Structure 1
Amino acid sequence: MSFSAHAPPAHGGRSQREQSRPASQQAATGFFHAAERPFMGDTTAHLAATRLTDLLTAPGTRPAFGVYQIAGFPDVSASASVAEMLVRHGGVDFVAIGVPHLSPVLGSPEMREAHRCALRGGTQMADVMTVVRHLTRHTAAPVVVMTYFAPVVQCGYRRFAAGLADAGAAGAMILDLPLDEAPEWVAAASDVALHTPQLVSRRASDLRLRQVSSMSTGWVHVPAANASNNPQQVDVTALRIFCQRLRAYQHTPPVVTGVGLCCPEQAAAISPYVDGIVIGSPLIRPLLEQSDWRGACAVAKTTLEFSRALPRPLPAPREADALRSDSPAGATCRRRAEAWNALSPRFSQ
């Protein structure tokens, strides 16, 4: 991912710890398309974070349903329009937007290829913010950004948090956040009312679970599978026991799972034990195979299959039919795809 180093921080300076890092890690990113405008994100972020909390803690038996979309895959416009379509017509409650990374350690081989595709297309952090801003302006779904640590270090905690808040995000999860860096990041995010979900390993010690429970806000993210690169085996009993162990700590936020899920049956089996479910790889594969309206229709169909598997209200039948590429109403899906084509050059190919 390429960065430019000319834009000043949008909200406050860097901390002493950030200033003391090597020069190679101090470069500011090409973060905002309009970096000079006044910062206005606190109130918007607070409302978004509140909506996310309400969604994950709502009484009832169903978990919230989220999708993971990598910004810039298959291109920037397509990633925004497909995510919007899934919120509007796929029964999706919240969206996780991924920052493309050269060496992602989580996810399937298809996920890693999608990261590479976004990077080959020149996706920058400013494009990530564009996707977030599009979703928060055109849908009511809370949006959380998922990223690795290096891009956040490069632009600085406060600048990263300010950009997210200004775009209307509800929070950000740094997947490989070092333990000794967590307090500084959490403080910067808290200053602009962002949630800070954290990923916890299924092999974590009791001490680590206690630390994650105390520092996470929004949710704690638990992998559904013990090995993210081998998602075929999701041990439901082991996941249930782990979630019970995690919830035993005071102040544990809602529990969300997703890494390793590959089919609706797995999602249905684990739904009684978590507060939210996020799917990613099952939505990446169709767009790797066909990065046009056919791939978008396949993504929508897969999303609806997961949605149907969860104990939740379904979309109206006419909407579900319209999103099935093999249904009599497939022409409706194609007309919608033609509208997406106007936003996405790659969809027009």
Structure 2
Amino acid sequence: MERLEKTFARLAERGETALVAYLTGGYPSLAETGPLIEAVSSAGADIIELGVAFSDPLGDGPVIQATTQAALDGGATAAAVLDIVAGARENGVQTPIMLMGYCNPFLRYGLEQLYADAKAAGADGFIVPDLPAHEADEWLAAARTHDMAQVFFSAPGSSEERLRNTAARSRGFLYSLAANGVTGVREELDPGIDAYLERVGDAAGTLPVCVGFGISRPEHVRALRGRAAGVIVGSALLRAIGDADTPAGRILAASRLVGELKEACR
């Protein structure tokens, strides 16, 4: 938690939006994920969200689904992703790393062992999209034991009571969906996003709010400045990586996009 809290505090002092960059662990290969983490960290990502592949990623759109399947085909497992995190820390990456994945693989691993191993590897917390905050007592107990973040989701259709309860149970930050549906690149932000984020901010209080789902361009990031503590970019980054033909080209593409997005955060 300390690494994550210091990141948000430092950026708030600068009046800067946090850039959260999503990578799928094991895409385009297990061997390339570590260098990509290092590249996006060096290019300006303030937080890295590292996906743990699952065969039924119900909250994800076609881009992330395709990268998840490629990761599974390449042998990605929760244990393999933890090894990637540990390797990134050994190579000097200090950026907070959040593990994003679905309940089934984590429960199969065993929650207490998972959180202990994740902490030892150098991860900072978990984002679990199919875990409702009100059903997460065991997860939150493990997170508190190991001083890790546990991030829950708000959506545009969330009631005031649900927003307050979700924010109250979140540790680290609140993940606020910019739109209903699944992940993916969108041309424009929802026209009602300002009113929605005002409601989220009222419910969250001092808890940082990060906005994801459809954020893909510098103009999206600029439009959200002052309305959220952070922005989360996934599909656009993975698409840029996938469009390149070589490991060096993929690192260059990821670094270029992250640099452009980070500049819009300042």
Shift in CA distance, 228/250, structure 1 to aligned 2, threshold 3 Å? closer
Between Structure 1 and Structure 2, how many residues are aligned?
261
- Aligned equivalents of 1:77, 1:166: Cα separation in 2: 21
TM-score after normalising by structure 2? 0.92
User: 1:229 Cα deviation (Å)?
Assistant: 5.0
Tell which has more relative contact order, 1 or 2 (C-alpha 8 A, sep 6+).
2
- Aligned equivalents of 2:79, 2:149: Cα separation in 1: 20
Question: Residue 227 of structure 1 contacts residue 260 of structure 1 at CA under 8 Å; is this kept in 2?
Answer: no
- Aligned equivalents of 2:241, 2:133: Cα separation in 1: 35
Shift in CA distance, 309/250, structure 1 to aligned 2, threshold 3 Å? closer
User: 1:287 Cα deviation (Å)?
Assistant: 2.7
- Aligned equivalents of 1:233, 1:187: Cα separation in 2: 39
User: 1:299 Cα deviation (Å)?
Assistant: 1.7
User: 1:291 Cα deviation (Å)?
Assistant: 4.5
> Which protein is richer in strand relative to its size?
2
Match of 2:3 among 47, 51, 60: 51
- Aligned equivalents of 2:223, 2:20: Cα separation in 1: 16
Q: Does residue 1:299 correspond to 2:251, yes or no?
A: no
Match of 1:269 among 223, 238, 251: 223
* Structure 2, unpaired ranges of 5+: none
- Aligned equivalents of 1:159, 1:195: Cα separation in 2: 16
Local SS of the residue matching 1:107? coil
1:132-173 deviation line (CA, Å, top 9, x unaligned): 112233211111111111111112221111111111111111
- Aligned equivalents of 1:141, 1:298: Cα separation in 2: 20
- C-alpha RMSD over aligned residues: 1.8
User: 1:190 Cα deviation (Å)?
Assistant: 0.5
The aligned counterpart of 2:150 is: 196
User: 1:250 Cα deviation (Å)?
Assistant: 6.3
Shift in CA distance, 271/228, structure 1 to aligned 2, threshold 3 Å? farther
TM-score after normalising by structure 1? 0.71
- Aligned equivalents of 1:258, 1:195: Cα separation in 2: 17
Question: Residue 156 of structure 2 contacts residue 196 of structure 2 at CA under 8 Å; is this kept in 1?
Answer: yes
Question: Residue 64 of structure 2 contacts residue 183 of structure 2 at CA under 8 Å; is this kept in 1?
Answer: no
Q: Which amino acid aligns with 2:60?
A: G
Q: Does residue 1:165 correspond to 2:139, yes or no?
A: no
The aligned counterpart of 1:105 is: 58
The aligned counterpart of 1:5 is: none
Greater Rg over alpha carbons, structure? 1
Runs of 4+ in structure 1 deviating by more than 4 angstroms, as ranges, are none
Local SS of the residue matching 1:273? coil
- Aligned equivalents of 2:172, 2:119: Cα separation in 1: 15
Question: Residue 188 of structure 2 contacts residue 220 of structure 2 at CA under 8 Å; is this kept in 1?
Answer: no
User: 1:224 Cα deviation (Å)?
Assistant: 2.2
Match of 1:184 among 138, 144, 152: 138
Question: Residue 101 of structure 2 contacts residue 129 of structure 2 at CA under 8 Å; is this kept in 1?
Answer: yes
User: 1:218 Cα deviation (Å)?
Assistant: 0.2
The aligned counterpart of 1:73 is: 27
Match of 1:129 among 60, 82, 85: 82
Local SS of the residue matching 1:59? helix
1:98-141 deviation line (CA, Å, top 9, x unaligned): 10111212333111100000001111111110111122332111
Local SS of the residue matching 2:143? helix
* Structure 1, unpaired ranges of 5+: 1-48, 312-349
Identical columns (%): 26
- Aligned equivalents of 2:89, 2:199: Cα separation in 1: 34
